[in-house]
Amino acid sequence: MTEHKSLRAFAAENPALILVLGICPLYASTVDVRAAFAMGCLVLAALLVSGLIMALLKRCIPQQFTLPAAFLVCAGVVSVFELLFHAWFPDIYKILGVYVSALSVNLLLVAAAADSCEQKAEKAIGQALLLGFIFLASLLAVAVIREVFGNASFAGIEIPSLKDYRINVLLQPGGALLIGAFLAAALNAVAAKALSSDSFSGWFGSSFPNAEKEEESES
Amino acid sequence: MEVKNNGLTKGLLTLVLIVAVFFCILFGINSYTAPIIEWNDNAALLAPLFKLLPDAPGFELLYDYTVPDNSSLANIPSTVRYIHAIAENGGYAVQLSTTEGFTGDPIDLSFAVDPDGKILNAQVDAYADTKDMGVDDYPLTYIGQDSALSDVSIVAGVTYSSSAFKRAIADGFLALTENGLVAEGYKDPVQALTEVLPLVFPGIANNAGVVQAEETQPTGALLSSAMKSTIDTGMAYFAGEGDDLYLITVNAFGVVKAYDTKGRDITDSAPAEALEQAKADAEASAADFLKKDTRAFKKLTGDDMELTELSLNTFNSVTGAYKLLSGGNTYYGFTSRTFGFGDMAIVTRYVLDENGAIVKMNADELILEKDYFSNYTLDEASYKEGFQGLTESTFTGDETLITGATMTSNAVKSAVRDIFEAFHDLKENGGI
C-alpha cells in the first residue's frame, strides 16, 4: 500500500503533469536542465518553508483566513528566496527571470501551504518534501527531453551528434506543452497498469496525498 | 457574535503579524544581498576590466556615456564609453569604442593607467575588421606609454584599424588629462608636429588620418626636414630647433602657413625667411598638372574653353582651381586628388557653375581595385551623371557610393566636400 501511495502520488496525482498545478515554472524553466533543477529546488525549498510556517501558525489562523495567510506566507518566502537566489546565482536568476517572482502566486505553493495549516508540522514537512521532489523530477524530465532534442545539449554541454537533428519546436512553449502531454500520457499508462481503477477516483479535484485522510478512509 | 469577532480580530492580527515579520526579514536580507546584486549587475560591465586587470580589487564608475550628465567629468570624446577609478590604486580604466577602423564596424577596447598616467595594460574587447592587426599582441605595445604615445607605431598593412585603435587610446588619455585625473605625458616637438600635420593639412593624410608623404631633403638652410605628399597635394616642413620647432605647410598653389606644436597658426610670427625657403622648395618640387587639367576640362566643357588659373588658401585635396569660359558661360573647374584603395591617388575633376552647383564630373580612373574585384562592373557614365546639379547643401555623400568599393566611394566623397570648400574659399577671397 505504501508503494501504491508513492506511485499514486507520482503518477496519478502528479501535481505538475496530471493535476496541472503551478505549471508556469514547468514550461518557462525547462529549456535548460540547469534552470529546471534550480527552479525545482526553489519550489522544494519554498514548499518546505511555507508549509512549516503554516503548520506552526495553524492555531493562530482561523479557517476563513487560511487562504490569505497562505498567500502572504508564500509571497514572503518566495521573496526571501528570490533575493538570495539573485545574489548567489545571478546567471541562473537571469535565465529564470520573472518566473521566480511569479512563484509568489503559484497555485501549487499556495494550495500546499493552505493544506499544511490543517496538519502537524512533521506531516507538513513530509508532504512538502514529497510534492517538492515530484515537482523537481517532473521539471527535470521535461527539461532533459526539451534540451537534448530541442537544443542538442545537456546542461549547457553540446551534444555534437544531435546537432543536425534538433527539433526547434521543443524549445517553444508549445513544445513544452507537447512534452508535458506525452509524459502525462506515459504516467497514466504506468498508473493504469500498477493501480486498481478505484484508486483513480482521486484524479479530478483531488487534494494532495494526505496520509491522515487516507488512513481515516481505510479504517 | 463575540466569538466571531474574536476570530476576525485574531485572523487580522495574524495577517498583520505575518506581514510585519516578513517585512523585517526581507529588510535584513536586502541589506545583505543588495550590494552583492549590484556587484553582479555590474559584472557584465566590469568583466572586460577584470580581464584587463585581474588583480584589481574593484572599480568605481566615474563616467557612463549613456548618462553623461551624472558625471562630474567634462569634455569626454565620443569614443569613450566608461571611465572607472581603480579601487585602492589611484589609477583609471577606460573603455572605448571606435568605428574608424577599416570596415567601420565597432572596435571595442579598454586600457588602464596608473596614477602617473602610464599604461598598465591595454586590450581589444571586440574586433570585427577583416584584417587582423594582432589583437592580442598589438595592444601590449602600449604598455608603459603615457599620453604622448611616442613609441607606438601603426601596424603596416592594417593602418586604418591600428590607427583607429591609437586614436581611441589618445581619446581616452584626453578625457583623463582634460579632467586632471592624470598628468599629460611629455611629447617631443617632432611627435607633436607630426600629429598636428594631418589636422591642419588634411590633403596630405588618408581617410584614416595617417600622413602619406615621402621624406625629402629640403633646400633651405632654415628647414630641418621635408615631406612631400605621395599624391602631390603639397609639402610640409619642420623648421626651428628644439622646443621651438614648428611646422610649415605649403599647398599645391604655393600658399604657405606655419603652426606650432599645439596646432596654432603662427604664420604671421614665423620667420619670413623660413617661409620663403619652404615656398621656394615646394615650387621646385611641385608637379605641373596644368596641361593635363586643361585637356581634361576642355573635354568636359568644349574645345572653345578658355582657362585661367586660380589660387586657393585651402589645404585639402584640391590641387587645381580654374576659371573656365566656354560658350559665353563662366564655370569653375577643380581638380582633386584623394587617397583610394591602397592609398593610391584617385583624381577627379568637377565643373561648377557660378552658383556652386556641379555641372560635370569626371575621373581619371575610379576603380583601382580591379585586381581584387574581377567581376566588378560600374556604369561610370550613369555614376558621373549622378553628380550633376549637386550643391553643398544638397550633397549627402550617398551619391558617391559604389557598392563593393568603399575606399573609392570615400575618396570621391572627400573630393566633393573639398571642392565645395574650395568654391567657398574662392568666393571669400574674391576669386568669384
* Pairing of the two strands B329-339 and B213-216: unpaired
Residue A208 is predicted with a pLDDT of 44
CA distance B221 to B258: 17
The Cα of B246 is separated from the nearest Cα of chain A by a number of Å equal to 58
B22 or B368, greater pLDDT? B22
B205 secondary structure, DSSP code? B
In this structure, what C-alpha cell is assigned to residue B150?
A: 611616442
What are the pLDDT digits (tens) for B248-275?
Answer: 999 999 999 999 998 999 999 999 999 9
Compute the average pLDDT of residues B198-217. 91
Nearest to A79 among B7, B26, B37 (CB): B26
Does A62 contact chain B (CB < 8 Å)?
yes
Phi, psi of B309 (to 5 degrees): -70, 140
Q: 3-class SS at B264?
A: coil
CA Rg, chain B, in Å?
30
Q: 3-class SS at B306?
A: strand
Asked if pLDDT for residue B367 goes beyond 80, the answer is: no
Compute the average pLDDT of residues A54-58. 89
**How many alpha carbons fall within 13 Å on the CB side of residue B203?**
32
* Highest averaged pLDDT of the listed ranges B276-280, B283-287, B324-328: B276-280
Contact B128, B107 (CB under 8 A): yes
Nearest residue on chain A to B27, alpha-carbon basis: A80
* Residues of chain B contacting residue A72, judged by C-beta atoms under 8 Å apart: 15, 18-19, 22
Residue for grid cell 599604461:
B119
Compute the average pLDDT of residues A88-117. 88
Does A56 contact chain B (CB < 8 Å)?
no
DSSP-assigned beta bridge partners for residue B227: B215, B236
In this structure, the number of other CB atoms found within 10 A of the CB of residue B207 comes to 18
Long-range contacts of B426-431 (CB under 8 A, 24+ apart): B426/B310, B426/B312, B426/B321, B426/B332, B427/B356, B429/B313, B431/B310, B431/B311, B431/B312, B431/B321, B431/B323
- pLDDT above 90 coverage of chain B, percent: 62
Residue B11 is predicted with a pLDDT of 87
Residue B160's pLDDT band (cuts 50, 70, 90): confident
In this structure, what C-alpha cell is assigned to residue B218?
A: 629640403
- Nearest alpha-carbon partner for B117 in B158, B163, B148: B148
CA distances from B197 to B194, B210, B316, B410 (A): 5, 10, 12, 21
Does A210 contact chain B (CB < 8 Å)?
no
Residue B255 is predicted with a pLDDT of 96
Nearest to B15 among A65, A79, A87 (CB): A65
Residue B370's pLDDT band (cuts 50, 70, 90): low
Averaged pLDDT of chain A: 81
List Cβ neighbours of A105 (8 Å cut-off, separation of 6 or more): A71, A74, A75
Asked if pLDDT for residue B315 goes beyond 80, the answer is: yes
Residue B291 is predicted with a pLDDT of 93
**Out of A12-21, A145-154, B95-104, B355-364, which region has the weakest mean confidence (pLDDT)?**
A12-21
What are the pLDDT digits (tens) for B381-401?
Answer: 889 999 999 999 999 988 888
Nearest residue on chain A to B41, alpha-carbon basis: A90
Does B15 contact chain A (CB < 8 Å)?
yes
Burial tier of A40 (Cβ tally within 10 Å: 0-12, 13-18, 19+) = buried
Which runs of E-coded beta strand occur in chain A?
153-154, 157-158
Residue A203 is predicted with a pLDDT of 37
Q: What is the DSSP string of B91-121?
A: -EEEEEEE--SSS---EEEEEEE-TTS-EEE
**Out of A143-152, B3-12, B14-23, B248-257, which region has the weakest mean confidence (pLDDT)?**
B3-12
Residue type, A85: F
Residue A219 is predicted with a pLDDT of 46
CA distance B73 to B78: 13
Residue A61's pLDDT band (cuts 50, 70, 90): confident
Does B18 contact chain A (CB < 8 Å)?
yes
Asked if pLDDT for residue A202 goes beyond 70, the answer is: no
- Check B14 against A57: CB less than 8 A apart: yes
**Out of A154-158, A207-211, B236-240, B287-291, which region has the weakest mean confidence (pLDDT)?**
A207-211
- Check A86 against B8: CB less than 8 A apart: no
Averaged pLDDT of chain B: 89
Residue B373's pLDDT band (cuts 50, 70, 90): low
What are the pLDDT digits (tens) for B212-254?
Answer: 999 999 998 999 999 999 999 999 999 998 889 999 999 999 9
Helix (H) or strand (E) holding B320: strand B318-326
CA distances from A106 to A71, B142, B298, B371 (A): 9, 56, 85, 67
Residue for grid cell 549590484:
B38
Residue B401 is predicted with a pLDDT of 85
